[in-house]
Each structure stands twice: as C-alpha cells, then as structure tokens.
Structure 1
Amino acid sequence: MLTYDPDDTFAHRLDPRTKLAVQIGFAATALAHPTPRALLVLSAVTAVALVAARVPLGRALSAYRFALFILALAPLLSGVTLGAPWFDRSAATTSALASYRVLLILLVSAAYVRSTPVRDSRAAIQRTIPGKPGQILGIGVGLVFRFLPVLRGDLRTIREAMAARLGTERGVVDRASTVGVLGLTRAFDRADRLSLALQARCFAWNPTLPPLTFSRADYPVLVLAVTLACSAFV
C-alpha cells in the first residue's frame, strides 16, 4: 500500500494545497474529456506527476491491483451482449476509455499520497474550507490515511493465520466469510480503541497544524491546475 515516504523530490517541496488543486483539475478534465486524444495528453501529465514524486509505476500499479482487476473486467462485461454479434466493440471501447481515465486519476493520487504527510493534508483542507466542515473533513482524511494501513495489516494477519492452519483447503465462501467476520471484528475493536485513545489525549477540534506557505515552484503548478480545471468546461 502506498504511504507517505519522506524525500526531497519536486512534489515533496510543493504546498499540499497546490497538489490538491492539481488533483481536482486533473480529475475534472479526465471525467469531462474521455476522448483518446485528451487521454493521451493526460497520460503525459500523469507520467510527469509520477516522476515528480518519484513513484515507480510498478509500485503504483501493485498498490491498485484490486482496482485494476475491476477496471480491466469492466470493458469485457460492457461488450458482452445476449444476442448477435455477442460482443459489442463500441461499448467495450467506451468502457475501456472510462476505465483508463479512472486509472490515470488513481496514479496521480498515488503521487500525492507518496509526497504529502497526513498532517499537511489535514492542514490544507482545514485552511481551505473554513469552520466545522473543514475540521470534520480534515479529521476524516487524517483518520482514513492512518487507519487503512492498520486494517490491511489485520486482514493480512488473518489470512496468514488461516494459511498456517490449513485454511486454504476450505471452500472459497467459507474462507471469505471467516475473513470478513474476523476483519469486521478487528475493525470495530480498533475503532473502540481509537476512540478511547482520542479521549485520553484530549482530542481537540482545532489542533496546532503545520504552517503552509506557497513557494515559487507552486505558482506554475497552480497555473497548470487552473488550466486543467478550465479545460473541463471547454
């Protein structure tokens, strides 16, 4: 799973608000223009984002392997018909283009995750959206980024324990139900412990967040973000 990795890349030096703006503009353009020519340009932007954050393409694809399976399956299911010609190429092509633009959005988000600390993301959200809504969104983002790796580790531990007890010889439905029940039990236990830990640490709605400042490198990237957002309406 992709997580923040300290480094001195160009993406690491950017303000998190700049990177969020690029993500929003990129997603808007990708969803508004699913044509092959537009996706080719967005592919180049994605490649630049991965290089700027120093994210290996193989690592990013591995992190999204389950999503990739669904994205690859969608064109096949869209093209299948109940009668002749049995497979509609135009429907499959449309679905494939839609899946590809989702993949590009995921890869750009991988560059953001790898180059942005959780506290900086929370600070960017809370300072962009004023009041309680921004505080709630900031807390939610922080908890998700910290909680998901723990839940994935719990599921991995459950699968390894089942394999050590010859659980792989049981039926697929039996294994899936066992992993699901134990995973939910662990998740609720983690949530209870998290709630207790927040209370013990005097959880505050408005903690001291890291300072955020725009540098010279942010301004051309902000121009790119605005250009991407505006292109969605063209």
Structure 2
Amino acid sequence: MLPYEPDDTLAHRLDPRSKLAVQMGFAIAALSHTAPGALLACTLLTGAILVTTRVPLGRTLAAYRVALVVLVAGPLVTTLSLGSPWLEPSEGVGPALASYRALLVLLVSAAYVRSTPVRDSRAAIQRTIPGKPGRLLGAGIALVFRFLPVLRTDLRTIREAMAARLGTERSALERASTTGVLGLSRAFTRADRLALAMQARCFSWNPTLPTLSFSRVDVPAFALAGALVLSVLL
C-alpha cells in the first residue's frame, strides 16, 4: 500500500475535498467513456496527474500487483472458449478496455494517497458528510489507512519466516493455508490491541481535526472535476 509522502507539489497544496472531487469526477468519466479518443484523453490526464504529484509509476504498479493480476486475468479468461477455435481474441477487447480504465482510476487514487495525510482525509469526509455517519466513515477510513500496512508487514514477516525454515519446499496449498491461518491470527491480535489502545486513549467520535480551507489553487481542481462530470452528462 502506498503511503503519504510530504512534498511541495501542487497536489499537496490542494484541499483534500477538491482532490476527492477530481478523483470522483475522473472515475465517473473514465468508467463511462468508451470511445478511443476519450480513453486517450483519460490516459494523458492520468499521466499529467502522476507527473504533477511525483508518483513513481513502477512502485505504484508493484503495490497494485494483486489488482493487476485480476485486471489481466479477466480479459484472458474471456478469450477462452470451450470448443473450437478455443481462443477468440475479439471477445477480450471489451474486458481489456474496461480493465485499462479501472487501472487508470487506481493510478489517480494513488496520486491522492501520496499527496494527502490520513488526518486530512478524515477531516474532509467528516466535514462533507454530516452527523455520526460522517464521523464513523472518517474514523473507518483513517483506521484502514493505518491498519493495512501493519497487516501487510505481518504477512511479509510470516512468509520470510517460512522461507527461513524451508517452507518453500512444502506444497502450495500447505503454504497458503499456513500463511492464511497465521495471518488471521495476527490480524485478530492486532485488532484486539488496537481496540484496547483506542479505549486507553479515550477514543472520541469528534476529535480535533486539522483545519481545512479552500484557496485559489482549488478553483482549477473543482473546474476539472466539473468538466469531467459534464463530459459524461453531455
């Protein structure tokens, strides 16, 4: 999972609410447009966003490797048939384009994660969605961003420990079951410790969050988000 990295890029200076608007507008446009010209425009926009936020493409693709496997496997499976000619490449064109559009959305979301602190994301959500639902959603997203990297580290530690004990000599099913059982055990242990730590620190539904304010640099971001949505409506 990609972490937030402090920097002085334009995206880092934007209000998180304007970045969320751009991300939502891009997702709507990318998943709605199917014409080659629109797909090229979305690709160029994605490249501009990655360059602006200084997102390393190689590391981002490595972080999304599990999702990439699913995105690649879908079109490949659709090209297979149960009878002659066994392989129909034309059937995989549509799913391949859909997978590519989903990949563009993932890359844009990576730019948001890299340029936005977790506290700012929580503040943006809680101030956009009123009441307890917003506080619950904000707290949940903040916990996910902080909890997932810990679980990934635990899984990597388990795999390294198995490899040091010649676990690679076992069957794939046995390795997967062992990793799954130990991973779930670690996850539940972490969850119990997290709950205890939150109680010890008097977890609040309405904590003091960072102050958010719009500036002039947010105007182009909202204009871009509006243009993306209008491109779908019109």
TM interval, short-chain normalised: over 0.9
* Number of residues of Structure 1 aligned to a counterpart in Structure 2: 234
Counterpart residue type for residue 126 of structure 1: Q
Query: Is 1:14 the equivalent of 2:10?
Result: no
Query: Is 1:167 the equivalent of 2:167?
Result: yes
Q: Secondary structure at the match of 2:39?
A: helix
* Shift of residue 69, structure 1, vs aligned partner: 1.5
Residues of 2 paired with 1:133 and 1:99: CA distance?
32
Q: Secondary structure at the match of 1:205?
A: coil
Q: Any idea what the Cα deviations from partners look like across 1:139-180, whole Å, max 9, x if unmatched?
A: 111000000000000000000000111101000000000000
The aligned residue for residue 129 of structure 1 is 129
Normalised TM-score (structure 1):
0.98
Q: Does the 8 Å contact 1:123/1:138 carry over to 2?
A: yes
Q: Any idea what the Cα deviations from partners look like across 1:166-224, whole Å, max 9, x if unmatched?
A: 10100000000000000000000000000000000000000011001111111011100
The aligned residue for residue 209 of structure 1 is 209
Residues of 1 paired with 2:49 and 2:144: CA distance?
23
Query: Is 1:40 the equivalent of 2:40?
Result: yes
Counterpart residue type for residue 64 of structure 1: Y
Q: Any idea what the Cα deviations from partners look like across 1:92-132, whole Å, max 9, x if unmatched?
A: 00010000001000000000000000000000000001011
Bigger CA drift: 76-85 or 3-12? Answer: 76-85
The aligned residue for residue 152 of structure 1 is 152
Residues of 1 paired with 2:34 and 2:141: CA distance?
29
Unaligned runs of 5+ in 2: none
Q: Aligned runs of 1:43-58 on 2, under 5 Å? A: 43-58=43-58
* Shift of residue 87, structure 1, vs aligned partner: 2.2
Residues of 2 paired with 1:83 and 1:158: CA distance?
43
Residues of 1 paired with 2:35 and 2:57: CA distance?
23
Normalised TM-score (structure 2):
0.98
The aligned residue for residue 108 of structure 2 is 108
Q: Between the two proteins, what is the percent identity of the paired residues?
A: 68
* Shift of residue 86, structure 1, vs aligned partner: 2.2
Bigger CA drift: 40-49 or 86-95? Answer: 86-95
The aligned residue for residue 80 of structure 1 is 80
Q: CA RMSD in A?
A: 0.9
* Shift of residue 85, structure 1, vs aligned partner: 3.1
Q: Secondary structure at the match of 1:232?
A: helix
Query: Is 1:182 the equivalent of 2:182?
Result: yes
Q: Aligned runs of 1:184-203 on 2, under 5 Å? A: 184-203=184-203
